[in-house]
Amino acid sequence: MKWSPANTSGKFMCILRITFPISRLMGLAPYSNDLDYSGFWAAYSLIFCSLIFITVVIVNYNYISTGEERHDEWILNPYNLKLYLAQIHLQGFALGMHLFKITIRDKEFAQVLKFIKETFVGPITISIIFSSGSSTILGLCWLFECYMSWPIVDPPDPTTMWTFFTAMYGDMVCFVIVMQFCATISVLKFGFAHITYVLKRTRFKYVRKLILRHSSLIHRTKYVNQFYSKQLVAIITLTALNYVSWAFFGLQDFMRSSPQLILGLSKLQQAFYQLYLLLCLCRCCDATIIEADTFCKELFRLTWKSKYLHTDYDSINLYLSMRPSVSFPASGFFNIGFPLITSIVTAASTYLVIIIQFSTSKI
């Protein structure tokens, strides 16, 4: 069976369609149309993101400093102020670290793009084309609706409205970075699926090449994970913090003496959006882990049943005994996967019960 690396950027641009062009326009992915590193787009990323960063700093400084003049009870609360500062600092760290990786450490991002171009893929299908693109569009529209529904229900002053826009853009940046990571991992995931497909069809005809390719894909996956790991730590921490805070503020609106149901629902959907972001990230990582392990399982099954192993048995047995696999540690703090979602939801539920109990008397 004929198998070779895809040598045209068109197929890969189909896989990365929607997610990567949006990333490039937002200054988060400086690549050319041939999926090579682009100095022009790197300069665009540096200038555009720097202007956005300066704007966010000015708007947030003005929002905090004028809180007393505007009689903004929310920002005058010291706990809310600390929460707000933590959120904007985590957003700034994620954007700053990503900008540092794609501009200063440009060779690392160029290597990521090279891995994408050199990865073996199977037939391009509709599910592959929109695997990350549809999730990106849905997430961005959901985020926009979350931020716009609240001002409609409870119109803020102009200063607060500008703060809404900067916060929304910060959340969009974090979401697009996550989806950029997911799109890149998806390409590698389909690379794992392809070599498993080839192994099933050709059995032991290309076994040594397939083992080398599997090992190479594992190395590439670890490299991509390391490239995005620091950004993901900040984004996941921010997501967990947002989930707890938005859920609390939404439930707080429900439990007032005069409940504000629509306003509470608009805040609760922000909490559910945070879970959606985690779900997209963890689903992609777990699917890649499964595809990587499936190759080893299929190789073991064929090895167990085959009668013609006298030439390759030692190398296959050694490779299987090493149990090569993929994992997604976030800078060593935690592993990204579905257990992470359950851990965050469990911890958040515990904190919410405690916070609500202490704040019920003040509502």
Percentage of the chain modeled with pLDDT above 70: 82
Overall average pLDDT of the 74-85 stretch: 78
Overall average pLDDT of the 30-49 stretch: 88
How far is the C-alpha of 127 from the C-alpha of 100, rounded, in Å? 33
Give tens-digit pLDDT for 317-331: 666 667 778 889 988
At 268 the pLDDT is 85
Give tens-digit pLDDT for 120-134: 454 444 344 345 567
Looking at every residue in the chain, the average pLDDT score rounds to 79
Query: With bands split at pLDDT 50, 70 and 90, how would you rate the model's confidence at 226?
Result: very high
Domain ranges within the chain, ordered by starting residue? 9-362
Overall average pLDDT of the 151-170 stretch: 77
pTM across the whole model: 0.86
At 5 the pLDDT is 39
Query: With bands split at pLDDT 50, 70 and 90, how would you rate the model's confidence at 116?
Result: confident
Give tens-digit pLDDT for 268-286: 888 899 999 999 999 999 9
- Residue length of the chain: 363
Residue 246 is which amino acid?
W
Percentage of the chain modeled with pLDDT above 90: 15
Give tens-digit pLDDT for 17-27: 678 888 888 98
Query: With bands split at pLDDT 50, 70 and 90, how would you rate the model's confidence at 78?
Result: confident
